[in-house]
Structure 1
Amino acid sequence: MSSSRHVRKTALSIALGLGLAVAFPAAYAANNDGSVSGHTKAGAMVTVTNPETGLTRKVTADANGNYRFPFLPVGQYTLSATVDGQPVAPSRNVTVALGTTTAVDIGAVRATNLSAISVTSSVLPVIDVSSTESATIVSRAELSRLPVDQNVTSVALLAPGVVKGNSNFGGISFGGSSVAENAFYVNGLNVTDFYNRNGFSEAPFAFYDQFQVKTGGYSVEFGRTTGGVVNAVARSGTNEFHAGTEITMEPSSWHSSADDHYTPDGRRYITASRDTESLIKTNVWASGPIVKDKLFFFAMYEARGNSPSNTNNAGTVMTDNQADTGFWGTTIDWNVTDNNTLSLMAFSDKNHNVGDVYAYDFDTDTRGKRTNQVFTDTGGRNWALTWTSYLTNDLSMKLMVGRNERESFTRSQLDLACNVVAASSALLDINDPGVPLGCTTSSTVYKRNDVRKQGRADFEWTLGDHLLRFGYDHENNTSDYARHYAGPGAYYYNVYAASTGATIPNGATLPAGYIGYVRARRYEIAGTFTTVDSAYYLEDNWQVTPNLVLNAGLRNDSFDNQDAAGHSYIKMDKQIAPRLGFSWDMKGDGSTKLFGNLGRYYLPVANVINIKQAGGLLDERTYYAFDGWEIKTIDGTQYAVPKLGPQLGNVDTSQGDGTVGDLRSEVDRNMDPVYQDEAILGFQQMLDASWSWGVSGTYRRLHNAIDDMEISATPQCGGDGYVGWVMANPGKKVTVWGDTNCDGNADGYITIDTSKQGWAMYDADGNYLGQRGWVKPKRTYAALELQLNRAWDEKWAFNASYVMSWNRGNAEGPVNSDTNFDDTGRTENFDDPWVNLGGDGYLPNDRRHQLKVRGTYALTPHWQLGGDLDVHSGGPITGFGVGNPYDATNYHSYFICVQNCESPVSEDRVYERSPRGKYGRLPWTYTLGASLSYLRPFEGGNLRVKLAVYNLLNQQRTVQVDQDLQTDISSSTNPTFLRPLGFQSPRFTQLTVAVDF
């Protein structure tokens, strides 16, 4: 047989197996493997075998010829069917991908229109006609051909509708959600940061085999997220010994310089051009059998040297960082029997960084003596042990236990001697001391160790045309936490510009003769805090007809956030999340699919809430008039600290006085959880053997928020009866322990309808005017998505997606990226009723247009050219004020004062609304990456060299601006309003050399 005929025959087999024949209902697989299902002769013995590991499983087809293999490790398999020992048809080659079901009819293919598929290669796009979720699968092989940086975030950003957050705290946004709403898994182990929910534990990049990025419609086994899911599986060993090494180099000379930025009068306010970064990683790995066909290993070690240097914005301090840490990962897989396997996955991302801090002179590019050392420890060890068992022909089980650890420990040599000092740009424009502020760059002595202990059980049970999937998922998430500011008294000094008579945050006014004020803040807390999350789920996948699949599922989540004493602080259960979906194979040949789903998803409360609201937090803020700078010297280096003028007003401990109060008065006893409803309708079609396209529409609506609110009045006592700061649902009824008989003492539960009540209003003479309530949180996301895909055929591959979306509301989520507030669940949005009044509009993660294109072209058998383009429009720009036409003057607001602003009487001031997005949008950004790869097989191995350039055009467009239009009650505009603050990362080049044996 000629080679071309062999290719066509192979391609036809794969097309029949992967693209054309669909027989069984389930599209879903557990979160670290895949499945194979299909149709054959009734009663046939169906056998699936992984020739690389010897893993063999057998099932008997039912009376209708249906069969299914769940919980299969990803990889390449052969599939055969026999009746009375005689083959039903030739065996098939099958690819099992992460989180998907591969459908294969063998020996009993239903009538299909084969002429609709033009078979031209052995690699074909596949439409999973039994799946109702929206997901993108990216393999290690595809990533090796593309200019994608070596981190999980860069992989997630390949998926449609996923964008970077435009804030100091970074993160990624899925479908209009905030960056604190996502979930990340490795081999079924949840590695999401549960303290603040912005981040995750990350194995060395060479450890991963496949990624699945879920952007919507995910099944009931996934929860605790209202954003997206990144699901990864690690590499594993086979019956053949293999080994290799990979070196990744990014010399500092291969990084373009970032731009410095200047004020209109020529003062530099961002110093970045002298920042440098150098990275080298050396990865060695080996895999193979310990016992052939039974026991396998994969092990790798990565030595990583990372040495970035960066200046402070004033250009007076240079910090040289050095991280030289070894990362490792391993998997061990044991085929105990044909029906039972045991797998271990483990990795470490522990990292130790030392930052040497030097005095620096930007103008002469010289550094002085070392002034400090900052030490930072992050990461931890992680593992998951999984037992998979075929209990009967129709019932399968998977059990997993695991542990995820994340350490964060920051300290410096000057923690005892030096306070941190910061000043607003507006103040420095008026009075710049000319020397560094403070004598330390380490703001806190901070130590936190987060440990997740996870266990879950997943089952699949086939009952005729129904596939039942059910399971239990339990997590015990513990944070051991301690934090305080550095320096004498543990104070952090912030200096702000303000005019005479201006009202400062504690309600006092700035006296004449001063140009600003100082906030001296103490912030201390310590303790061990635990959250227990658990869930049951049940799902029925019903093959209604050979071409129509319906699935209906329920997930029941419960969240129990506990204080340092182990008492429940916020406890919510019976959170029923229904999921409904359908998938219609419209032509019956696997080439065209219409699908849709409806789902509800719940979001847990981050551990930061346990700690800061129920942990004896001391948040003491004392305000002083700014009386100029005092120049001090330490170890021969000059620095400035503010001179404290007269104290202004009382010490503010409203955010925490160091004690744990009666938690019954600090949390709503009947609190409702945060959840999101989602609807998706989509269409996919194979155009030929290589090309496919799809279109889908998505609508998401977020319900509720859990946030801190200051309830200053209760209806029971005629507007008196101060309760204080309460974690609750803004705009809903709140039940807390309070004063029922108006004697000034809390003695029972009271209920306040916060949509109408809870905040006392007074006139300038102190007369009570009544109460005001909170607006309800709102967030919606609507999107139209188009995709076009060409599968890799050893010559070229192409993928393009376009998303047009609208993200509206008055609440971004549990963090605020437009005001850089990353304390998850403790935003300013609902502190009092005026903060969010008039705050409806386009939200920070609204990116109206997103275009993503990636592809690879083989110039010759040895040379490949890759490209990746990400284009999206910018987010809205809002001009925040600090007051409103009523009686509160603090926080960011959607009003600015325009007349009589110097008057101490709030009724005399005149305000106008400053709505979301009034000041236009951030610019479009264009990020282009390109790579050139050289491939050379040699006897016993392969050489791969890839040169990749990221942000090839060196775009450094603005992605963040100062959105504070007014910073105090005055008619003047903040001089730094609209000043660019964040930018695209400059161009850099990366060389990767890999040798595999």
Structure 2
Amino acid sequence: MTKNQPSLQRKCALALSLSFALATVAQAQTNTAGAISGHAASGDTITVSNPATGFTRTITVDSDGAFRVSQLPIGRYTVTRNGDNARQVNVSVGTASAVDFVAPGNSAAALDTVTVVGSGAVNPIDVSSVESTTILTSEQIAKIPVARDTTSVALLAPGTVRGDAAFGNLASFGGSSVAENQYYVNGFNITNSFRSLNFSNVPFEAIAEQQIKTGGYGAEFGRSLGGVVNQITKRGTNDFHAGGNVFWSPKALTEDTKNTYLSNPLACGPAPFVVCTMGQLRQDNSKDSTYNVVGSVWASGALIEDKVFAYGLVSYRRQGADAWGIVQSPTNSTQVVETPAWLLKMDWNITEQHLFELTAFSDKQKTETDVYSNTIGILNRLNKRGTSYQTQGGTNYVLKYTGYLTDSFTLSALYGHGEFSRGQHLLYADGTDVRYSGSLNAPANGCPVVLDIRPLSRRQVTGEYASQCNITAGALPRADSKDTRDQFRVDAEWQLGDHLVRFGYDQDDYTSIAGTSIEGGRQFRYSVNRSGVDQVRERVINQGTKNEVKQHALYVQDSWNVTDNFVAYIGGRWDTFDNRDGFGKTFVKIDNQFGPRLGFSWDVDGDSTFKVFGNAGRYALPLTSDVATRAASASLFQQRLTTAFTGVDPFTGAPLGRPNTPFSYINGEFGSAKNNRTVAAQDLKPMYQDEYILGLQKTLSEHFTLGVRGIYRDLKAAIDDNCDYTAILDSAGFTFNPTTGDWVDGAGRASAQPNAGFPYCRLFNPGDDAVFLTDLYGDGNLTPVNVAGDRLSPKAKRTYSAVEFFFDGNWDKFFLQGSYTYAKSKGNTEGGVKSDIGQANTGITQDFDYRELTVDTYGYLPNDRRHTLKVFGNFEVNDEWSIGANVLVQSGRPVNCFGILTPWLVPGGVHPYGSSFARCGTTPAGGFGPVARRPRGTSGRLPWTNDLDINVAYRPAWMHGLQFKVDVFNVLNSQKVTSVNEIAEDNPSGLPLDTYLTPASFQAPRSVRFMVQYDF
């Protein structure tokens, strides 16, 4: 192909752009459909039709020779000019497939007839694009060895890394936390906004395409600083189809997870460390086992030919796990998870101008966990303690209308309702039903939680302090916990000459019934104090409320064809966030937060073979509904500490003979309602981030495309909570009286602190000056108090910088895609959650609770994976056999060392936040001796990981539609450590914990998955 063959070059470029599946950029035409655009002579009639559904639309080409057919349901279309010159083209979600009948800018230069034959691949090089998007079809996903879930597919895209195992199976996009993404199905938001750490799951077999937006997305998308996952379901056609399949991962072909051993070298030393624990077995996984089986059946077709279509699917998944657990644990368990899921997709072509569709699906999941007693130090299974019953997920219903009102104006409207259950209760072996009603005055019944974190040497002498009846070792959510979403949005697209204008409105109302209580109503934690004496800390924590988040947004955006080969993009989004407490009162409201979006796309050679693009944008993130559970609603947090106990109950593990000393209240959680006007800064700004992207992509041959982009993200403002009430009293002119323990003003009048009505923890923008309304004297009068930003904390910082190289190759029997990313993620906050300690309180982590907590916290963040290489593809050996592979090589995340802060306030005093500071003792005595500063990320890195997955598929010629497939995951059984325990010292003694650096998760071991499918 040479430069003196422009016609041939254009034709090849066209064929390539419609057949390549490149993990790169694509214009956000809409979040549910695609478009066809191109050039023809002025006055020509362009007809697009989908023979599978009978959908047809005809438009007339404008005077400038450009045409565009928008809001097309995904599928394969025939495009004709004046009833002739038929072209075949695939339309995918969020892309504009190009079909030129004449050369751009030259209405007289007709191109030779070219029939474009698509291969089922997606993501053409769209020269109108400013987004960074990967699209994978169900056909592509089926050909590569990848787990059949939303996150695993999203992790194939450049710039995504797997999040910490503490939060489940979630992805981090572009350095953001796993709680900063949004998820959609057929245009409906399925993100579980309680903490944004979950989402509804469409039965995976029903997914037709998954779009992964990793940056630069248009103004119609918001409420995300990370990425957007947009799924489109399958739908019916005029042809009847039905089938079924079974996927089975047997436990016999799943390798054992590696055992873990105690790894802290400081746990070897003088008294009280009589026994060295370094290298001692921590967790024996040799008896653990898992299995997974899922079966699906489906059918689709036309109820009325060319008019009404249906696609239905029913699936059933059963997963089992046998976990024997930690050697020193008093329990082990067996678990069964059942997910009877279904989906129904209905489409009605009312006329050629009006379409209507319904999506309904259920993903309600039930988990039963039988818990057994275990002899501490021995892997055995004794009496059954009881069973935990959990539910998750629910049903979703989505209605959508699309109207092609004129050749150039399209309107769509969507309404959706979704429910998501999070309930749990326990049934003890003696028949006791254990649950939490949500009442602060009626904590969960049952047996208390008992933790023994004393040094192993001490436990070997006195015996383990443990409960023989507790099941969860944690907190129970209220039995009726659930979330409800009602969403309405309207979107319009209007082609005005060289301007493609989109605008719309989005209303999203979210309600959560939430709350937790410790099983048995309280937790007993045994440790050793600084004098070497056993002590017990007793805690009571109860929460229960109904919270609301009301959000709406307006957006407008314009893609302007400045010339035939240069597109300028400008957009704006105005978000309003209204968070309400358990009494329906607003405690945070941010009106019309402006998010500008700018970008360009330059088709350098004018033939869609070489593109330079860039964009800049501002993205805002709302508070999750869970923020109100403790921060803005009534909650109870009590604690007391004593060494004066005579023994431990051998059955419950509760201390005996302890004095009935009064509780102290933590963080001002007195069990009483908080004044909604006092829990957040009056001048609060949303969490928002600026993003800049510059890149190019080039077709190197008719089989291979290469691209590169640079990305920079800068967190400009964060929302978190600060619990240092002294900052408010200092700023209000109060001083501390050490004799009385009161804070008094200049007239000697005491503050209301620490009484009810004075919230300790308040929402603010870290580093910014804040104005807090405060009831200083407990008389109901609120006084504005200005607090300097540096008195509260330094400014929240998080930057992400990366260079991504991506490529795609596509031949007759072979396709190959991949990327290499070099990235740095640096700052003093990860964002919504805190991976290094597994804290899932989205938006209210401990990062900025006290100014002392922020010392030495600037450094490389948990999602900093410096190098990531991804390669996947498939080779069709012949008509019956194919081989697929998926490779991931990635560098490890940084490691921290967290210890206590002492002295604090007074000599020998220990900060109440315990082992949360970037400092560790340098002697076996931990906090007693010299203290070393350990800035974030400077305690080493975890090892590189490598994963190789392969599959083999067989489609016998003797029975069309039958297929067998075997996937082998982690072929080399590489089980490198992916996270460790980063807490190095006990609280409050400062003694080194023998669990520091103990592995918390590994790469998943080698496993095998079998599939058999018949489709007709």
TM-score, length basis structure 2: 0.88
Partner residue, 1:726: 762
Output one character per residue of 1:592-629: Cα deviation in whole Å (capped at 9) or x when no partner: 00000000100010111112222211122222338586
Q: Is the 8 A contact 1:375 1:410 kept in 2?
A: yes
Q: Does 1:90 align with 2:114?
A: no
Q: Does 1:985 align with 2:1015?
A: no
Structure 2, gaps ≥5 residues long: 1-7, 263-276, 429-433, 435-444, 736-742, 744-750
2:630 match: secondary structure: helix
2:733 aligned residue (712, 717, 720): 717
2:951 match: secondary structure: strand
2:342 aligned residue (324, 328, 338): 328
CA-CA distance at 1:651 after TM superposition: 1.5
1:253 match: secondary structure: helix
CA distance in 1, matches of 2:646, 2:41: 89
Instruction: Write the letter of the residue equivalent to 1:215.
Output: T
Output one character per residue of 1:405-461: Cα deviation in whole Å (capped at 9) or x when no partner: 110111111333311212226367645735854422223332311011011000001
Partner residue, 1:562: 580
Q: Does 1:755 align with 2:789?
A: yes
CA-CA distance at 1:222 after TM superposition: 0.5
Q: Is the 8 A contact 1:549 1:582 kept in 2?
A: yes
Partner residue, 2:47: 47
Partner residue, 2:315: 302
* Aligned positions of 1:156-167 closer than 5 A: 156-167=154-165
Instruction: Write the letter of the residue equivalent to 1:955.
Output: S
Q: Does 1:134 align with 2:132?
A: yes
Partner residue, 1:919: 939
CA-CA distance at 1:395 after TM superposition: 0.8
Report the CA distance shift for 1:647/1:364 in structure 2 as closer, same or farther (over 3 A).
Answer: closer
CA-CA distance at 1:869 after TM superposition: 0.9
Report the CA distance shift for 1:830/1:297 in structure 2 as closer, same or farther (over 3 A).
Answer: same
Instruction: Write the letter of the residue equivalent to 1:726.
Output: R
2:996 match: secondary structure: coil
Partner residue, 1:60: 60
Q: Does 1:394 align with 2:408?
A: yes
Instruction: Write the letter of the residue equivalent to 2:943.
Output: P
Report the CA distance shift for 1:237/1:938 in structure 2 as closer, same or farther (over 3 A).
Answer: farther
Partner residue, 2:694: 681
Higher mean alpha-carbon deviation, 154-163 vs 251-260, is at: 251-260
* Aligned positions of 1:863-942 closer than 5 A: 863-883=881-901, 887=905, 889-891=911-913, 892-896=916-920, 911-937=931-957, 941-942=960-961
Report the CA distance shift for 1:860/1:686 in structure 2 as closer, same or farther (over 3 A).
Answer: same
Q: Is the 8 A contact 1:737 1:747 kept in 2?
A: no
* Aligned positions of 1:40-439 closer than 5 A: 40-82=40-82, 87=83, 89-108=84-103, 126-170=124-168, 171-263=170-262, 264=277, 267-314=280-327, 316-360=330-374, 366-414=380-428, 415=434, 416-424=445-453, 426=455, 430-431=459-460, 433=463, 437-439=467-469
2:704 aligned residue (682, 691, 704): 691
CA-CA distance at 1:855 after TM superposition: 1.2
CA distance in 2, matches of 1:121, 1:335: 25
CA-CA distance at 1:658 after TM superposition: 1.1
Q: Is the 8 A contact 1:625 1:648 kept in 2?
A: no
1:834 match: secondary structure: helix
Q: Is the 8 A contact 1:340 1:390 kept in 2?
A: yes
CA distance in 2, matches of 1:749, 1:463: 54
CA-CA distance at 1:632 after TM superposition: 3.0
Higher mean alpha-carbon deviation, 960-969 vs 95-104, is at: 960-969
CA distance in 1, matches of 2:425, 2:543: 16
CA distance in 2, matches of 1:947, 1:682: 38
Partner residue, 2:966: 947
1:775 match: secondary structure: coil
CA-CA distance at 1:749 after TM superposition: 3.4
CA distance in 2, matches of 1:14, 1:541: 22
Q: Is the 8 A contact 2:345 2:357 kept in 1?
A: yes
CA-CA distance at 1:652 after TM superposition: 2.5
CA-CA distance at 1:367 after TM superposition: 2.6
1:334 match: secondary structure: strand
Instruction: Write the letter of the residue equivalent to 2:786.
Output: I
CA-CA distance at 1:910 after TM superposition: 6.1
1:526 aligned residue (517, 521, 544): 544
CA-CA distance at 1:323 after TM superposition: 2.9
CA-CA distance at 1:238 after TM superposition: 0.3
Instruction: Write the letter of the residue equivalent to 1:410.
Output: Q
CA RMSD in angstroms comes to 2.9
Higher mean alpha-carbon deviation, 804-813 vs 299-308, is at: 299-308
CA distance in 2, matches of 1:163, 1:985: 15
Output one character per residue of 1:688-729: Cα deviation in whole Å (capped at 9) or x when no partner: 122000010000011222111123123232445556321111
Higher mean alpha-carbon deviation, 367-376 vs 809-818, is at: 367-376
Partner residue, 1:770: none
Report the CA distance shift for 1:903/1:253 in structure 2 as closer, same or farther (over 3 A).
Answer: closer
Structure 1, gaps ≥5 residues long: 1-7, 501-512, 634-638, 758-772
CA distance in 2, matches of 1:569, 1:258: 46
Instruction: Write the letter of the residue equivalent to 1:269.
Output: R
Q: Is the 8 A contact 2:551 2:578 kept in 1?
A: yes
Instruction: Write the letter of the residue equivalent to 1:225.
Output: S
2:667 match: secondary structure: coil
1:470 aligned residue (503, 517, 537): 503
CA distance in 1, matches of 2:518, 2:173: 34
CA-CA distance at 1:106 after TM superposition: 1.9
CA distance in 2, matches of 1:433, 1:362: 9
Report the CA distance shift for 1:643/1:775 in structure 2 as closer, same or farther (over 3 A).
Answer: farther
Instruction: Write the letter of the residue equivalent to 2:784.
Output: I
Report the CA distance shift for 1:114/1:640 in structure 2 as closer, same or farther (over 3 A).
Answer: farther
Report the CA distance shift for 1:404/1:428 in structure 2 as closer, same or farther (over 3 A).
Answer: farther
Q: How many residues align?
A: 937
Instruction: Write the letter of the residue equivalent to 1:205.
Output: F
Q: Is the 8 A contact 2:26 2:130 kept in 1?
A: no
CA-CA distance at 1:313 after TM superposition: 1.4
Q: Is the 8 A contact 2:585 2:676 kept in 1?
A: no
CA-CA distance at 1:368 after TM superposition: 2.6
CA-CA distance at 1:18 after TM superposition: 3.8
CA distance in 2, matches of 1:429, 1:129: 68
CA-CA distance at 1:499 after TM superposition: 2.2
2:1004 match: secondary structure: coil
Partner residue, 1:636: none
Instruction: Write the letter of the residue equivalent to 1:93.
Output: Q
TM-score, length basis structure 1: 0.89
Q: Does 1:455 align with 2:488?
A: yes
Report the CA distance shift for 1:953/1:114 in structure 2 as closer, same or farther (over 3 A).
Answer: farther
Instruction: Write the letter of the residue equivalent to 1:495.
Output: Y
Report the CA distance shift for 1:902/1:580 in structure 2 as closer, same or farther (over 3 A).
Answer: closer
* Aligned positions of 1:596-675 closer than 5 A: 596-625=614-643, 627=645, 630-633=648-651, 640-643=653-656, 645=658, 651-675=664-688
Q: Is the 8 A contact 1:738 1:745 kept in 2?
A: no
Partner residue, 2:273: none
Instruction: Write the letter of the residue equivalent to 2:448.
Output: N
Output one character per residue of 1:124-174: Cα deviation in whole Å (capped at 9) or x when no partner: 873111111111111100011100111111101101111112242232111
Q: Does 1:444 align with 2:481?
A: no
Q: Is the 8 A contact 2:86 2:115 kept in 1?
A: no
CA distance in 1, matches of 2:324, 2:388: 14
Partner residue, 1:510: none
CA-CA distance at 1:48 after TM superposition: 0.6
